[in-house]
Amino acid sequence: MAEETKEAQDTIKITKKPEVSDWSTHTYGGLGSLHNGKKLLHDPKGQAEACTFATMKRRTTEQRAWRPISDGLRQIALQHFPVDPRAVPGGTMLVLGQTRDTRLVTTYLDTTYTFFALITQTETEKTKGKPLVNIYVLSNHLVVPFEAGGITQLSEGEYLFMLPEDMPPVALMLFPLLKNNSEGNSMGMESASRKLRTCAACGQVWRRSMMKCAGCNEVPYCSRVCQRHHWSSHKAACKRTRSQRKGK
């Protein structure tokens, strides 16, 4: 573990601004279109598609695959990696390669997160010295090999995490880069909030602000796509809220 601590000092920073500026309208696809969980079906090469409500539901499904980090791994993160202690309770993890259909996963990150990975089995001659995971930054058409003990900060966007051939399952971990984090602020990266917000239509949970219904200013949405989709369900309640305000 001391060796990993030393390696953790050599960090990778993915700071290049993505070409896509509005992730509520652009996507690169996910399970079933971009990949099948085992291999890449096609390479988007930085060419985004228009988002639909199905896109938002897919992002929700992918988000829910990340689970709260166990107490044991939280202690490892605090002891051996430069993670903000305030962010540890909000950490999530996903085991890449836990099944043969989860060697590739796509994830949309709503804000900036600190990322690192740990191999779940003893290293062998086949895996020693090889990247634990390859991170495909889809908007930049850039694949970043992620080494054992490495730390990086991933800004908002869609990412594809790919397990290299012969690599056993790897635990991926994300910790939100909270506001008032001097390192994140100095790099101009958007910081996360401790407050969680849930889209009323697709169910995505974000650590940053969401738009609200322009009528009642109460119901949160992650995108106009979700707001339009939800309008038929929300219309009556929105009208009642506005009427009640006028009556006061």
Per-residue pLDDT reduced to its tens digit, 53-105: 999 999 999 999 999 998 888 888 888 888 888 898 899 999 999 999 999 99
For residues 175 and 233, state if they share a domain: no
Range of 9-13, 43-47, 176-180 with top mean pLDDT: 43-47
Cα distances (Å, whole numbers) of residue 132 to 129, 166, 170: 9, 10, 7
Residue 56's φ and ψ, nearest 5 degrees, are: -65, -40
For residues 133 and 227, state if they share a domain: no
For residues 142 and 31, state if they share a domain: yes
For residues 28 and 62, state if they share a domain: yes
For residues 59 and 182, state if they share a domain: yes
For residues 188 and 209, state if they share a domain: no
For residues 82 and 11, state if they share a domain: yes
Domain count, the chain: 2
For residues 25 and 143, state if they share a domain: yes
Q: Which domain holds residue 220?
A: 198-247
Of the candidates 47, 63, 54, 56, which has an alpha carbon nearest to the alpha carbon of residue 24? 56
Which tokens sit at 147?
């080494």
For residues 189 and 218, state if they share a domain: no
Q: Which amino acid is at 14?
A: I
CA distance 196 to 78: 23
For residues 8 and 111, state if they share a domain: yes
For residues 167 and 239, state if they share a domain: no
Query: What's the predicted TM-score (pTM) here?
Result: 0.85
Instruction: Indicate the burial class of 86 (C-beta count within 10 angstroms; 0-12, 13-18, 19 or more).
Output: middle
Q: Which amino acid is at 70?
A: S
For residues 119 and 32, state if they share a domain: yes
Q: Which amino acid is at 114?
A: T
